[in-house]
Amino acid sequence: MADINYVSKEGLEKMQKELYDMKHVQRPFISRQIADARDKGDLSENAEYHAAKEDQGLLEAKIAKLDDIVSKSRVIDESKLDTSKVMMMSKVKVRNLKSKQEMIYMMVSESEADFKTGKISLKSPIGAGLMGKKLGEIVEIKAPAGVVQFEIIEIKL
């Protein structure tokens, strides 16, 4: 059961929309490109045909991968989450003890991670370092620039 991918409802919906687009918009478009290129004659020297076939292969690989992730995804019931410690879906406010800068991170699965919006993967160095920690704890996280100390100042959903 280690293959289960826990996600938010919004995260699952986003992946399902992307999968639908790939299957029902992009796939037929590439099929039409292949058919059009095939109609142009000799396939051995038809660069359009070969490019479209390559695009088709890449798209099918993406579809298979995303299909697999979606099939293993489970939506987390936020009403059952505990805010006494950092866990999946927690919004954690931390203070960098050296720079005194405060940041808010939302703990999400790898498939939902987006650092620009403050969503970090549980498996990232910061995410892994914060997981399971409680309010007021000081956490040391190894980063490329060295060890960074964070104080957990708020945990909420």
pLDDT band at 92 (very low <50, low <70, confident <90, very high): very high
Flag whether pLDDT at 41 surpasses 90. no
Q: The sheet that has 102-108: what strands, in order across it?
A: 119-121, 102-108, 91-96, 146-156, 138-143
> In whole numbers, what is the pLDDT of the chain averaged over residues?
89
For residues 19-33, average pLDDT: 95
Q: Whole-model pTM above 0.75?
A: no
Final residue of a structural domain among 31, 52, 75:
75
Final residue of a structural domain among 49, 75, 101:
75
Flag whether pLDDT at 59 surpasses 90. yes
Q: Please report the pLDDT score of residue 2 as a whole number.
A: 52
For residues 62-86, average pLDDT: 86
Flag whether pLDDT at 26 surpasses 70. yes
**Both 29 and 55 in a single domain?**
yes
**Both 127 and 146 in a single domain?**
yes
Residue 129, number of CB atoms within 10 A of its CB: 18
Q: Give the domain extent around 106.
A: 78-156
**Both 64 and 101 in a single domain?**
no
Query: What CATH number is given to the structural domain containing 38?
Result: 1.10.287.180
Flag whether pLDDT at 51 surpasses 80. yes
Number of domains in the chain: 2
User: Between 23 and 50, where is the model more confident?
Assistant: 23
Cβ 78 vs Cβ 157: under 8 Å:
yes
Q: Please report the pLDDT score of residue 1 as a whole number.
A: 42
For residues 24-28, average pLDDT: 96
Of the ranges 18-27, 44-53, 94-103, 129-138, which one carries the lowest mean pLDDT score?
44-53
Query: What CATH number is given to the structural domain containing 87?
Result: 3.10.50.30
Whose CA is closest to 88, among 104, 105, 67, 103? 105
Final residue of a structural domain among 33, 58, 75:
75
CA 136 – CA 56 distance, rounded (Å) = 52
Of the ranges 14-23, 24-33, 76-85, which one carries the lowest mean pLDDT score?
76-85
Nearest 10 degrees: Cα torsion 120, 132, 84, 7: 40
**Both 96 and 152 in a single domain?**
yes
Q: Is the dihedral of CA 96, 97, 101, 106 positive or negative?
A: positive
**Both 53 and 94 in a single domain?**
no
